Amino acid sequence: MATKTKINFQKAFEELESITEWFEKGEVDLDEGLKKFERGLELAGTCKEKLSEFENKVKEIKAKYETDI
Amino acid sequence: MTEPHILSVTQYLQIINTVLREHVPSQEIVVEGELSGFTIKDGKWIIFDLKDENDAKAKVACFATTFKVTGVFENGMRVRVFGFPSVKPWSTFQIDVQSIEPVGEGALKRAYEMLKKKLELEGLFDVGRKRALPRFPERIGLITSRDAAAYGDFLRILNNRWGGVEILFSHVHVQGKESVPEILSALGMFSDMSESDRPDMIVLTRGGGSLEDLHAFNDEAVARAVYSSKIPVVCGVGHERDESLCDFVADVRASTPSNAAERCVPSRQDVLYEMEMMTRQMEQRLTDSLADKKLVVERATRTVRSVLDRESQRLLVSAKRLRDVFGTWHIRLRDRTSSLEKLLRQVDPKRILARGYSIVTVAGRIATDAGTLSIGTEIAVQLSRGTFDAEVVRTNGKGKQKLI
């Protein structure tokens, strides 16, 4: 079974949210702000790329049924 | 005539029970009747009589355990009993019950209501224990029948909204005798998976139906399995108005299979819009901050300019004062110089010479005492205009004789 690593949408999105929050609170340092902004754009790009995945894979798995009836 | 077999009581009962097992096709028979004298002893043993409605005398004793038979029953309820006949050592005939099912909408409804009450009192429906679903699931466990419309509806809505999800599909019967054990083992299998293999959420779903159709979703064991699932469960059973016990126990109650898909994943459009808003917000804040900085710089420039203006003004004033002071000092100096010059001019020896005096020098030294001069010494005499040299002939009346 594939492990949950690749591009983790959740992580990328959360980081994007936290960057946005950083921008929302108080004084924005220009140098840091620019860096964060760039990172934010990068994350948004990654997320958008992930959003272009349209397929959901269905994988059938069998459970072992108890047969003591 | 053959000699009769002589058996002990136990042996006799054994034969009876073997015959009963072999010759009553129990797997194919359920006995329908009315419950009476229903009691549970020590929370383990269920004892009741099953009787016919119109013949009070026709009744059979039944025995079951709470491990096998779950649900809530009451006297007078019409049920179908599945079990094996047996004669006990104390000579009672009874059915060893494997399962009891209420019969007819009325009994089912009643059993459902009683079980709902019981589970509610136990706290299985508590809102406080419900777990939140991760917003962006990567793996979803799906428990339903591949032949049900619910299966197609769920996947279609899921695909419309979101992509890249791995769906671990466990096919089960969603009604009929197999449904309960199949759903139980599917739930168990997901919970037993290692943490890294586990789905982020489980969806248990089927379309609408009668109370009888939905019985697996109202089964006590299934409800408890949903309750104790290690993975959050989304339950979507039936149409808008249908309810099932699993709905109440599940972490998320969806109204339909399609709604279950909506509860599991966000829609692309919403997320895109949200990201758009976030980037715009960041950009705005950055622009604002730039504008702030520009304002600060402008203010600083203005301040510096005014300081410079003030300082240059001061410099001008100082320079003017300096010029003024220098002017008066200069005049004073000039005046003093000319008066000194005047004084000097008065003591100028040349002016004295002009008045008829002369200066006598001997070998460059001014002679002031005639006594020091020897006869015959050459002297230089400076007059107001010109010089001449002479010889001393007499000093203080002594020396060469005057010619006259």
Indicate yes or no: CB of B185 within 8 angstroms of CB of A66: yes
Mean pLDDT, range B42-69, rounded to an integer: 90
Q: Return the percentage of chain B with pLDDT > 70, whole number.
A: 99
* Min distance A36 CA to chain B CA atoms (Å): 9
Q: Is the pLDDT of residue A64 over 70?
A: no
Mean pLDDT, range B194-221, rounded to an integer: 90
Q: How far apart are CA B98 and CA B82, in angstroms?
A: 6
Nearest to residue A1, comparing CAs of B135, B187, B139?
Answer: B139
Listed ranges A11-25, B88-102, B183-197; the one with the highest mean pLDDT:
B183-197
Residue B206 — pLDDT band, cuts 50, 70, 90?
very high
Place of tokens 């005492």: B369
Residue B166 — pLDDT band, cuts 50, 70, 90?
very high
Residue A65 — pLDDT band, cuts 50, 70, 90?
low
* Min distance B205 CA to chain A CA atoms (Å): 16
* Min distance A6 CA to chain B CA atoms (Å): 11
Q: Is the pLDDT of residue A28 over 80?
A: no
Q: What is the pLDDT of residue B49?
A: 93
> A60 in helix, strand or coil?
strand
Residue B264 — pLDDT band, cuts 50, 70, 90?
very high
Residue B95 — pLDDT band, cuts 50, 70, 90?
very high
CB B264 within 8 A of CB B137: yes
Residue B200 — pLDDT band, cuts 50, 70, 90?
very high
The tally of CA atoms less than 13 A away on the side-chain side of residue B161 is 22
Taking CA atoms, B31 is separated from B87, B100, B244, in Å, by: 17, 10, 27
CB B191 within 8 A of CB B182: no
Tokens of A50: 């992930």
Q: Is the pLDDT of residue B31 over 70?
A: yes
Mean pLDDT, range A31-55, rounded to an integer: 85
| DSSP per-residue string spanning A5-55 | -SS-HHHHHHHHHHHHHHHHSSPPPHHHHHHHHHHHHHHHHHHHHHHT---
Among A51, A54, A61, select the one facing B272 at the smallest CB separation. Answer: A51
Mean pLDDT, range B133-139, rounded to an integer: 92
CB B281 within 8 A of CB A33: no
Taking CA atoms, B218 is separated from A5, B116, B221, in Å, by: 38, 9, 9
ipTM surpasses 0.95: no
Contacts of B197 in chain A (CB under 8 A): 1
Mean pLDDT, range B145-168, rounded to an integer: 92
Residue B74 — pLDDT band, cuts 50, 70, 90?
confident
Among A3, A19, A66, select the one facing B196 at the smallest CB separation. Answer: A3
Residue B240 — pLDDT band, cuts 50, 70, 90?
low
Residue A67 — pLDDT band, cuts 50, 70, 90?
very low
- Element holding B172 (H helix, E strand): none
Give burial (CB, 10 Å; 0-12/13-18/19+) of B239.
exposed
